Amino acid sequence: MLAVDSTVATPLLTKPLNLGADIVMHSATKYLNGHSDVISGVLAAREDNAFWQRLVAVRAQSGAVPGQDAAQLLRGMRTLFLRVRESCQSALYIAEQLEQHPQVIEVLYPGLKSFAGHDVAKKQMKSGFGGMLSIRLAGGEKAAIAVAAKTQLWCRATSLGGVESLIEHRASIEGPDTPVPLDLLRLSVGIENADDLLTDLKQAIDSAHV
């Protein structure tokens, strides 16, 4: 049984069931909703088998049925294609530009040829590489935390997939046992103007390294 979390890729970019997955999970709170005001989740199965029927039965018995969130989720999905397309384009642009910044030692984004999984991403993802990327900074943990604090357009928050662009120092969120590098910032690119987002990041990076 192969289960895949495809929240970040969204159904628009990757179709795991066609690639051999048995069950696909989406945190509908993220891209499917897109407005950061829903708590919901989605499971989809390739086959209506006995295991899937057990999951359906557990859901029915526990009363895990969405209420008002369903209406808000439907609202968000009406603009899913537009939002994801904009986020993908902006994320790729920002990733390519930040690769050239002297204080950025690494950009982690599947759309970049320098990314270790780029070839796999090209085969599995269509119409874009997602709106999520990470950057690692030459100044280490201190610089990363400072950059997150100095952005003005990027919101310092832990989430992803909304219309607003978010930045976070992930290691601080996860605590001392985190495997995340201390110099890493995670970025969720929203639908704001890409040049404005890039300019804001650059000023924050430059300010943190003065």
Q: What is the pLDDT of residues 163-172, one digit of tens each?
A: 999 999 999 9
Q: What is the mean pLDDT of residues 186-210?
A: 95
pLDDT for residue 149: 96
Instruction: Give the CATH number, domain containing residue 116.
Output: 3.90.1150.10
Same domain for 135 and 119 = yes
pLDDT for residue 66: 80
Same domain for 66 and 158 = no
Interacting residues of 179 by C-beta distance below 8 A, sequence separation 6+: none
State how many domains the chain has: 2
pLDDT for residue 210: 62
Same domain for 139 and 118 = yes
Q: Provide the phi-psi class of 167: left if phi over 0, else alpha when psi is between -120 and 50, else beta.
A: beta
Q: Global pTM?
A: 0.93
Boundary of a domain, candidates 77, 97, 124: 77
Q: What is the pLDDT of residues 86-122, one digit of tens each?
A: 999 999 999 999 999 999 999 999 999 999 999 999 9
pLDDT category at 63 given cuts 50, 70, 90 is confident
Same domain for 22 and 84 = no
Which residues span the domain enclosing 171?
80-208
Same domain for 67 and 89 = no
Instruction: Give the CATH number, domain containing residue 49.
Output: 3.40.640.10
> Is the distance from CB of 186 to CB of 170 less than 8 angstroms?
yes
Q: What is the pLDDT of residues 38-61, one digit of tens each?
A: 999 999 999 999 999 998 898 888
pLDDT for residue 61: 84
C-alpha 147/C-alpha 186 separation (Å) is: 11
pLDDT for residue 60: 83
Same domain for 160 and 57 = no
Same domain for 153 and 125 = yes
Same domain for 95 and 58 = no
Same domain for 91 and 43 = no
Same domain for 124 and 92 = yes
Same domain for 155 and 96 = yes
Boundary of a domain, candidates 31, 56, 77: 77
Say whether pLDDT at 179 is over 70.
yes
pLDDT category at 73 given cuts 50, 70, 90 is very high
Boundary of a domain, candidates 43, 77, 111: 77
Residue whose entry in the numeric block shows the structure tokens 């001392």:
176
- For 81, other C-beta atoms within 10 Å of its C-beta total 12
Say whether pLDDT at 64 is over 80.
no
> Is the distance from CB of 160 to CB of 132 less than 8 angstroms?
yes
Say whether pLDDT at 133 is over 70.
yes
What percentage of the chain reaches a pLDDT higher than 70?
100
Say whether pLDDT at 62 is over 90.
no
Same domain for 73 and 54 = yes
